[in-house]
Structure formats: C-alpha cells, structure tokens
Amino acid sequence: KDFKGKVNPDWCPGCGDFGVLNSVQRAVAELGLRPHEILTVSGIGCSSNFPGFFNAYGMHTLHGRALAVATGAKLANHELTVIVTGGDGDGYGIGGNHFMHAARRNIDLTYIVMNNQIYGLTTGQLSPTSREGMKTKSSPFGSVELPINPLLISIMAGATFVARGFSGDGKHLVELIKQAIQHRGFAHIDVFSPCVTFNHDNTYPFFRERVKRLEDEGHDPSDWKAACEKAMVWGDTIYTGLFFRSEGRATLEEKEPVLAQGGPLAYRPLGLSQEQAQKLLQRMM
C-alpha cells in the first residue's frame, strides 16, 4: 500500500504492465524497503510512465536514456535502491547502446523491461523483439527482420543477474524482482508484458500455453552455457526464471576509487562557502 502512487495508471485495461507494477510494489514491500530509499527511473513509452504510479523518488527521462540517468544517480548516491523500468522499444532499440554498457560495467541497478514485442505508445509498430513475420502497422506484409534476444545480449555483455518473468505469473515475478534487487550488480529482468491493444500474436494465452519455469527444470543459474542454451529456446516451450547469476564480481561503484572512500557523493560537503553555494544554485536555476 505504501508504494501505491497518487496517480492511477492510464494503461489500457488488461495491459501487462499492471502486473509488473503490482509485482514491483509487492517485492519492495516484502523486502522492507521504504519509499525514500528507492529511485525509479524510466525512459519513454507506455511502461515508462511507471515512476508516476509508484510512491518513491522517480524520474521520467528521455527516450532510451533511463540507464544512463540511473547510472549517474547510483554513482551520486549508491545507498539508493535504483530500479529502472521501461519497454522493449525504449530499452533494446533506442537505448540498446546503454543496455550493453550498463551490463558490462556491472553497476548495481535493477533493470525491468516490460517486453510486449511492439511499440504501444505510438500505436503499434515493430519493435526490436517483434517476431519475424509479425504483421503490424509498420509491417503490413509481415516483419522481415529477426528479433534480438535480450537475455543473450545481457549475458554476453557481462550482466551478473539475468532473468525472465511473465506478468501473468505475479507470484513468480515478485520472487525474481526481490532476488534482482538483492543482487549486487547489474540485474536484468525481461518480462513478457502483453500489449492487449496492438499485439494480437503474443497474448496472455500464447504465453500461458508455453511458459515453463526454469526452477521446475532443475536449471543451475551458475552454469553459463546452460543459461545461453535455455535463453535460445523459443517455440512450444519458452522459459521464465533465473537464467544466469554470477556472484562475487565487484560492482562499478565498488571499484570506483572516489566512491570507495567517503561514502555517497550526495552526502559530501561541497567545500564551498555559503555565499559560493548560493551563487552556484542561482546559476543552476
């Protein structure tokens, strides 16, 4: 209840993003976090309206730039729990470059991508995860492009926690989000979050028929090769769960010498007189 924002989501009834929002709210409540300890950052898109519906610090930033802004925020105050939210177009298309670099830096962020395999806010164009042959407003004869595999990209780029959830399986998603937040390092969760208005291929029934939890298959997330193999499976079976986790690798903020000594930058004295600080603030306003 503490994390419910004052503004109600304006998503279409049935949108998968409702399930993701509820799951994040439940996960942080179950972890005992408080609103002032959390920052949510997003880019642009239906799902990127997330910070407006969540009671914590929030930033709704530029298209594809959420991870860059979140990296800056985490470096300024690494005591904050920083959760980055957005969609597949925002994160894997416009922000694809930032995605790779956040993964390789292993900065301690939780990145939740509401993957609906289409651009919803702009009313239904192909996204980087749309399947080949999919008919959309921008591909009336069917997509001629191969989709990207976001899990493989983040595993290969160096992410230390890589998972996939389904917004129709809230209990499972809550557990994945809790583990991701508790993980030290870059944690990426790709979530199937159906767009009920524009994607008529990848629907709730489509996923319900196919999704299998890795936990029920005895998958070992420390096994890099098995994680890659499972991430490539797409057909009658599609896996959700924790694909890969590597523990013990230092995070960016732990390795950064300036941050390692003296605590968060946000709490340090500026080293300016009151007069100088006032002038600086005036220039910024």
Structure tokens at 30: 């179950």
Pick one of 12, 75, 148, 152: the residue that binds ligand SF4 (CB under 6 A).
Answer: 12
In the complex, what is the shortest distance from the CB of residue 237 to ligand SF4, in angstroms, rounded to a whole number? 25
What's the Rg (C-alpha) of the chain? 19
Q: Is 116 an interacting residue with respect to ligand SF4 (CB under 6 A)?
A: yes
Amino acid found at 257: P
Name the one range near ligand SF4 by CB under 6 A: 100-108, 115-123, 218-226, 239-247.
115-123
Q: Which residues from 42-61 bind ligand SF4, rule CB under 6 A?
A: 46
CA–CA separation, 253 vs 16, rounded Å?
33
DSSP 8-state assignment for residue 50: G
Ramachandran angles phi, psi of 42, nearest 5°: -140, 170
Based on CB atoms, which residue is closest to ligand SF4, 175 or 190? 190
In the complex, what is the shortest distance from the CB of residue 90 to ligand SF4, in angstroms, rounded to a whole number? 11
CA–CA separation, 96 vs 107, rounded Å?
16
In the complex, what is the shortest distance from the CB of residue 89 to ligand SF4, in angstroms, rounded to a whole number? 10
159 with 151: CB under 8 angstroms?
no
Q: Give residues with Cβ within 8 angstroms of 207, minimum separation 6.
A: 166, 168, 192, 194, 238
In the complex, what is the shortest distance from the CB of residue 135 to ligand SF4, in angstroms, rounded to a whole number? 16
Pick one of 19, 51, 91, 120: the residue that binds ligand SF4 (CB under 6 A).
Answer: 120
Based on CB atoms, which residue is closest to ligand SF4, 5 or 221? 5
Based on CB atoms, which residue is closest to ligand SF4, 90 or 169? 90
Pick one of 17, 90, 169, 175: the residue that binds ligand SF4 (CB under 6 A).
Answer: 17
241 with 189: CB under 8 angstroms?
no
Q: Which residues from 196-225 bind ligand SF4, rule CB under 6 A?
A: 196-198
152 with 126: CB under 8 angstroms?
no
Instruction: Please give the residue ranges that form the binding site for ligand SF4 (CB under 6 A).
Output: 11-12, 15, 17, 46, 116, 120-121, 195-198
